[in-house]
Structure 1
């Protein structure tokens, strides 16, 4: 079996095990499968039991324990596709250079190449010069509610962070990401019969509609800020003035100051109409990942290593979606994202990775683990 055939065989097996975030048993089975690949290697594994109904986390350790800051590789095993996707519109299949399947691009292909790079680097032992760690997170796709503190703690003990989220088109790395904020707004009005006592009611939906327009108007493309009301629910019956309405808001920002400003404005929302009440919860849950000097220097080092391996590594200076790299970059740790596989279709029924991208990017990550 050739190296490519082995890669496709292993990755296909991984893709055939669906691991959506909220299925803890499936996520844990995926952890078992991944860890089984390095069972006989000089790698120590810390497995942390999941909580709040989510799956386990695993941290791989290798290299010398010499007190130097580590190089941290960040991955996540959870996917967005529900169980049953395989049996429906997205079965595991190969079409030329494309390998399709739930999580092929985001990010089981990235886990595979990172794991192989980590394994080969680990075999060098003390010759590595510094410790290396690989994080397998169970909940990145829902904002890392149980692992953010762990990611930040590992980041503080690291000199560099390599994030295996998928590459941008053409294999570009990511050197900045927008921060993400999620908010829930609850409106309390007063119910009344819509026919005989309309004047006594205070419509929560009417108030929500006015607040929604105000929130949507916070979008400012020049600043790179977007505010999206993404879910709305309210009312009880067609003949009742609605006394409750609830909606969710997604916010994206490009820097910390803008995050503080927009968070302050949303949490400070006040009623527009009379005799209604608002309750606003939430905040910026992923800080902005800004292209600092440290990030720029790390990208330059990675680009030079890629060139020595025979390919060009470009960069995308701003991506709208967040990742666990936001947490480490916001702490000032040089972080390079988008080092996973090339491909397309993240979170869709056309998700695939490019098989040809796996080996060169594996070699790049291995070189970075040896040279940074």
Structure 2
């Protein structure tokens, strides 16, 4: 498992680099083929290579989900290579989620019967799965369960995830000379500042709804009244009604400055994964983990989204966070606990077998 992990880490795969993704898809396909004896179907959408394995002639009863794209740009390995120190391994993308892919395929390798199992490993999860959503949902629809191999910061399984919506708010004002004719301009920077304060006020901590203005761009030069500005907005909530409330409020934004224009652009979105979607599988995982390790698995609800949101949205029981135990996802020094790999693989194998027998 350590050798397979090193091989995956050493093939960089940022979401934005199609050539790098194609190379990593080959590596993932080879790993899956070695472990299961079956080559994947390569599903290319908008030049992004997604991989799907389907075992047996009938519909999928158990679907396992993973992704091989990462947030790390090509060249990161030159300064931060895969390395191991005792029980800790580090490298770009190791917990999110190449460690999970190693667990996934070794879990399947331990099973004698894979009939009714399907696997989707996509190339765009880190950017919201825009080209793989249909593939994931079509593969999972009607299954008895979906298992998501995302990593876990404390070993806890993910039993609920917030729904996510991304937006861009654009402001158009009127540029003018900041020294000679500032009064002739309509300052897009001032207008976007008003809008940012309005947007931030839409969050509701009592309902665990967050509305976060993130990256912003304004103007062109230091001596010009800015004529354009924009801000990205990240919205998250466990409650679909809250997501609709915030969406309506954002669509109703009006300019404050005379002559300014405000426009909203909706981006990628994921529905919430409610606790009800995970409840039965989590109870099963608790029983199996206690049998395997003497400790019942713990669960947590989290703000981050995954492709588990997509399977839950089509009515499939979904359990997430079954990947490697580690930390610092999306941050320098990302790491996993190597000894968690075989333990997690044993749990995933047991879950696949139990779910497969449940119908």
Q: How does the TM-score come out when normalised to structure 1?
A: 0.91
Distance 1:202 1:142 in 2: 34
Displacement, 1:44? 5.0
2:350 is aligned with 1:360:
no
Contact 2:151 2:322 in 1 (8 A): yes
Distance 1:66 1:10 in 2: 30
Distance 1:39 1:175 in 2: 30
Distance 1:42 1:19 in 2: 24
2:72 is aligned with 1:78:
no
2:106 is aligned with 1:106:
no
State the partner residue of 1:275.
259
Residues 229-287 of structure 1 show CA distances to partners (whole Å, capped at 9, x for unaligned) of 11111212333222111111111111111111111111221112211111101156011
2:325 is aligned with 1:342:
yes
Aligned residue pairs, count: 354
Question: Of residues 182, 190, 202 in structure 2, which corresponds to 1:198?
Answer: 182
Distance 1:317 1:250 in 2: 21
State the partner residue of 1:124.
113
Displacement, 1:206? 0.9
Question: Of residues 41, 44, 49 in structure 1, which corresponds to 2:44?
Answer: 49
2:139 is aligned with 1:154:
yes
Q: How does the TM-score come out when normalised to structure 2?
A: 0.94
Displacement, 1:313? 4.2
Kindly report the root-mean-square deviation, in angstroms, between the aligned alpha carbons of the 2 structures.
Answer: 1.7
Distance 1:37 1:87 in 2: 24
Distance 2:58 2:16 in 1: 38
2:128 is aligned with 1:143:
yes
Question: Of residues 322, 325, 328 in structure 1, which corresponds to 2:305?
Answer: 322
Contact 2:271 2:310 in 1 (8 A): yes
Contact 1:44 1:61 in 2 (8 A): no
2:218 is aligned with 1:234:
yes
2:92 is aligned with 1:92:
no
2:20 is aligned with 1:26:
yes
Distance 1:149 1:187 in 2: 33
Question: Would the alpha carbon gap of residues 143 and 313 (structure 1) be closer, same or farther in structure 2, given more than 3 Å must change?
Answer: farther
Q: For 2:206, what is the secondary structure of its paired residue?
A: coil
Moved more, 20-29 or 159-168: 20-29
Contact 1:175 1:315 in 2 (8 A): no
Distance 1:339 1:298 in 2: 12
State the partner residue of 1:304.
287
2:208 is aligned with 1:219:
no
Displacement, 1:50? 4.0
Question: Of residues 8, 20, 24 in structure 2, which corresponds to 1:14?
Answer: 8
Displacement, 1:177? 0.8
Question: Would the alpha carbon gap of residues 21 and 311 (structure 1) be closer, same or farther in structure 2, given more than 3 Å must change?
Answer: farther
Question: Of residues 291, 304, 312 in structure 1, which corresponds to 2:275?
Answer: 291
> Runs of 5+ in structure 2 lacking a partner?
none
Question: Of residues 59, 78, 87 in structure 1, which corresponds to 2:52?
Answer: 59
> Runs of 5+ in structure 1 lacking a partner?
1-6
Residues 36-72 of structure 1 show CA distances to partners (whole Å, capped at 9, x for unaligned) of 1343644352111241x5x30000111x3244x4210
